[in-house]
Amino acid sequence: MTALGYEIDIAADEPEDMIVDEDEAESKPAVKRKGRGFKSETRDARGDGVRSTDKYDQFESTTEEDAAAGRAQRSVEGWIVLVSGLHEESTEEEITDKFADFGEIKNIHLNLDRRTGFVKGYALVEYETYKEAKNAIEAVNGQKLYGQVLHCDFAFIRPPTPVLASERDRDRNIRSRVRRRNRSSSPRRY
């Protein structure tokens, strides 16, 4: 007995007390983990869209203007030109004057730094047609404004066409043969 009148009984666990049924332990499923990085067979088999290998339909350009654009991609509103290399003290009026000669500007956006109030160094100029945007890019690209060279290109471009798996494998085999001639092989990963 202790000073308070309580009796404490401490029993040591003996191996006999803990009986584990091995068949029951094996039949229970493992802990399921959710979240990024944990793969689930059911989700992969279902094709959740992230790891899916399904091919989806792509819309081909139907207008002559889209076909003539080559790698440029039209946004929802129009053809957007990204102008970079702007001086921090450039104004919207100066950029409008520089680009107004090539067509009607639908919209112009200069991103400003919150702390300083100066331009961050780029602008977005939107045109209605591809021809206007292309002419503006060709004419203004490389010109100077406040002593800084302007760089112009389309804000949205199409991704490169996918390479067929057979071509990719063929190229990989050619590169690997060339590499083996010059280097020793690395240890294998398991």
Q: What CATH code is assigned to 70-154? A: 3.30.70.330
Q: What is the pLDDT of residue 64?
A: 45
Q: What is the rounded distance in angstroms from the CA atom of residue 92 to the CA atom of residue 119? A: 10
Q: What is the pLDDT of residue 67?
A: 45
Instruction: Convert 2-23 to b/e letters by CB count within 10 Å (16 or more is b).
Output: eeeeeeeeeeeeeeeeeeeeee
Average pLDDT over the chain reads: 76
Q: How far apart are the two ends of the chain, measured CA to CA in Å?
A: 60
- pLDDT per position as a tens digit, 66-119: 444 468 888 888 999 999 999 999 999 999 999 999 999 999 999 999 999 999
Domain boundaries along the sequence of the chain: 70-154
Query: Is residue 62 pLDDT above 50, yes or no?
Result: no
Residue with tokens 């009796």: 7
Query: Does pTM top 0.75 for this prediction?
Result: no
